[in-house]
A and B are shown apart, each in its own frame.
Chain A
Amino acid sequence: MTGRLGYFACAAALLALLVATVAAARVDLGPLSTTVALAIAGVKAALVILYFMHVRRGPRLIWLYAAGGFLWLALLITLVWADVTTRAPNL
């Protein structure tokens, strides 16, 4: 029943990270605060994907699929971002 213990450990880690993200938000990190919050969220998502969704012991193809969506979303946001943040006000 190690599998079950693993699930409990994972959930505990997720709750700990939830508290951590709240603690980090209480501290004024300036522009970094969003980065920190998203980084913690990324770790939490990775935990869920790897343990709850069994990707850790899944074939490589599943790793690719699990990463692919996020990669593509990053691509979409990055390229739109590249437009919006580099528009000269008047062009």
Chain B
Amino acid sequence: MAGAVDGLFWFLAALSAALSVLIFGLLIAFAIRYRRRAPGERAGVARIPLGLELAWTFIPLGIVLAIFGWGAELFIRQLTPPPGAMTVYALGRQWMWEVQHLGGRREINELHVPTGRPVRLIMTSEDVIHSFFVPAFRVKRDVLPGRYTTLWFDAVRAGEYHLFCAEYCGTKHSAMIGRIVALPPEAFGTWLARDEGDAGQPLATAGERLFGALSCTTCHGRDDTRGPSLNGLFGRAVRLRDGSVTTADEGYLRESILQPAAKVSAGFRDEMPPYQGRLSELQVLQLIAYIQTLGAAAPP
């Protein structure tokens, strides 16, 4: 992706340079050629044909429309993670990045990733708006409180890269920085398996325990009883009470845990208590990770 972004950048740089040279060249040439030679000198009559006016109206229009298309196509690609991307969760908080791997390892202001495999981040903030910015990968996305945003990148070469917070977030904004460590796949595997004192349970395991502790099973069982069954829910299309259809992705699950009334599944009543304020963002992530594992075990 970085190469594709740079392609557009340098194209635009070249275009800008060419246009600047054209305009500055004409300005200077005209200024010298038509400089005032005598104090009372008058200007000559010069008619600009309408065709020329139209040309410098519509040719730039065509050019900018083409650039729009290019930029938009690039944008869509940057927002669509390729299949098989590795999911990692990131929490922004004044003034640190907390990264949670599915397997349970947790990092502060660091993110270890394997080379050659796309990484998809699911991010949220616990306080103000932050922005996850890795210049080397040409990616950036704001991290908002109260909802998930995502971002993906592909570290081609092993190495260390800057991680910045790009949205002003308070006193230590410029200290909310870290590094992305891209390791070859084997080295990454070793790193992931190691415990440097930060490893908790795998997210899904913690989520399962929490699921039980919160008595979610009372309503969400193997079959649709009081609440819809969660088996095989993740990634599926869900029909809602008001007739609309949505996809059960991370954002939907988060909202349905914290504010169940917002989107109620068709055929069910709005009777689940909201968990907003009762669960930390990390706990929500654990529950989501657990619900995703329910997909595998679900009967067709």
Which A residues have a C-beta under 8 Å from some C-beta of B? Answer: 88-91
Query: Which residue of chain A lies nearest to B122 when distances are taken between CB atoms in the complex?
Result: A90
Q: How far is the CB of A89 from chain B (nearest CB, A)?
A: 4
Q: A89 to B246, alpha carbons, bound, how many Å?
A: 8
Q: How many residues of B contact A (CB 8 A)?
A: 12
Assess whether B252 is in contact with A91, with CB atoms less than 8 Å apart: no
A91 touches B149 (CB 8 A): yes
For window 233-247 of B, CB contacts with A under 8 Å fall at: 246-247
Chain B contact surface mostly: mixed
Cα–Cα, bound, A91→B252 (Å): 11
Give 10 pairs: A residue, B residue, CB < 8 Å, sorted on A. Answer: A88-B247, A89-B246, A89-B247, A89-B251, A89-B252, A90-B122, A90-B150, A90-B250, A91-B79, A91-B149
Decide if B79 touches A89 in the complex (CB within 8 Å). no
Q: Output the least CB separation between A91 and chain B (Å).
A: 6
> Min CB distance, A12 to chain B, in Å?
39
A89 to B150, CA, bound (A): 11
A84 to chain B, nearest CB (A): 12
Please determine whether A90 and B252 come into contact, CB atoms closer than 8 angstroms: yes
| Residues 147 to 205 of chain B near chain A (Cβ within 8 Å) | 148-150
Q: Identify the 7 closest CB pairs spanning chains A and B, nearest first.
A: A89-B251, A90-B251, A90-B249, A89-B252, A90-B250, A90-B148, A90-B150
Q: How far is A76 from B250 in the complex, measured between Cα atoms in Å?
A: 30
Compute how far the CA of A90 lies from the CA of B120 in the bound complex, rounded to whole angstroms. Answer: 12
B208 contacts the other chain (Cβ, under 8 Å)?
no
Q: Is B110 an interface residue (CB 8 A)?
A: no
Known: A90-B150, A90-B251. 11 other contacts (CB 8 A): A89-B246, A89-B247, A89-B249, A89-B251, A89-B255, A90-B122, A90-B247, A90-B249, A90-B250, A90-B252, A91-B149
Give Cα A88–Cα B148 distance, bound, in whole angstroms. 11
* Residues on B with beta carbons closer than 8 Å to the beta carbon of A90: 122, 148, 150, 247, 249-252
Contact across chains for A91 and B150 when beta carbons are under 8 A apart: yes
B73 to chain A, nearest CB (A): 16
Given the complex of chains A and B, what is the CA–CA distance between A74 and B163 in angstroms?
41
Q: Within the assembled complex, what's the spacing in Å between the Cα atoms of A89 and B249?
A: 8
Residue of A nearest to B150 (CB): A90
**Cα-based distance from A88 to B249 in the complex (angstroms):** 10
From 249 to 290 in chain B, residues with beta carbon under 8 angstroms from any chain A beta carbon are 249-252, 255
Q: Which residues on A sit within 8 Å (CB–CB) of B250? A: 90
Kindly report which residue of chain A lies nearest to residue B80, judged by CB atoms.
A91
Closest to B250 in A: A90
Q: Point out the residues of chain B lying under 8 angstroms from A89, CB to CB.
A: 246-247, 249, 251-252, 255
For residue B251, which residues in chain A have a CB less than 8 angstroms away from its CB? Answer: 88-90
Which residues of the other chain, B, contact A91 by a CB distance below 8 angstroms?
Answer: 79, 149-150
> Nearest chain A CB to B146's CB is how many angstroms away?
13
